[in-house]
């Protein structure tokens, strides 16, 4: 845990203190509603807005950490009994920024990824942006895309100019 510019760092700080406080509130809400903190669960007192990597079991849909987007190193764990149940759980959200599937069977991972309602689904990889690919969510997770040729279009305004000259020719630019 440390400086995100250092290649040895695997966990960096959150973007600002208010985000760290929001994460702490989600974790405490889960703990108060019966969630079991398996590891982490505390802000780290040091320069920067660090929070311990956290895993929470025994979570349910009444907890903020399940109902809201989580922007920090905290993972709520929901145990399911089948792939179908896993897909239902993953899609049972009003958000859809990113999802990650971990499997030894790549074909199965791709099949499952196609069923997930999310702007990006990574198989055997953490969710992260890549400048070669469009990045953005669906549902209530953002508007549009950034990065790649698709993303750049989100940052430009297309303008049409139509001119009729005195000879009645229509010129289109």
CA gap 132, 33 in Å, rounded: 41
What is the reported pTM?
A: 0.78
Q: What is the DSSP letter of 2?
A: -
Among the listed residues 17, 14, 41, the one whose alpha carbon sits nearest the alpha carbon of residue 30: 41
Each residue's pLDDT expressed in tens, for the chain with a length of 173 residues: 898 899 999 999 999 999 999 999 999 999 999 999 999 999 998 899 999 999 999 999 999 999 999 999 999 999 999 999 999 999 999 999 999 999 999 999 999 999 999 999 999 998 988 889 888 999 988 778 888 888 777 777 777 777 777 666 666 65
CA dihedral 53, 58, 59, 65 (to 10 degrees): -20
Q: What residue ranges define each of the domains in the chain, with the CATH number in brackets?
A: 1-78 (3.40.309.10), 80-173 (3.40.309.10)
């Amino acid at each position: 845990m440390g400086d995100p510019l250092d290649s040895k760092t695997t966990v960096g700080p959150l973007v600002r203190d208010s985000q760290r406080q929001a994460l702490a509130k989600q974790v405490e809400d889960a703990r108060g509603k019966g969630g079991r903190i398996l590891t982490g669960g505390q802000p780290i007192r040091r320069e920067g807005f660090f929070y311990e990597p956290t895993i929470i079991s025994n979570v349910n849909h009444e907890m903020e950490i399940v109902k809201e987007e989580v922007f920090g190193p905290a993972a709520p764990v929901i145990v399911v009994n089948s792939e179908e149940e896993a897909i239902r759980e993953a899609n049972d959200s009003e958000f859809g920024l990113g999802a990650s599937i971990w499997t030894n069977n790549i074909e199965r991972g791709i099949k499952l990824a196609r069923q997930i309602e999310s702007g990006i689904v990574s198989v055997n990889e953490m969710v992260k942006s890549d400048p070669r690919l469009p990045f953005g969510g669906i549902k209530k997770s953002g508007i549009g895309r950034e990065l790649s040729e698709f993303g750049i279009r989100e940052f430009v305004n297309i303008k049409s100019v139509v001119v009729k000259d005195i000879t009645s020719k229509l010129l289109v630019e």
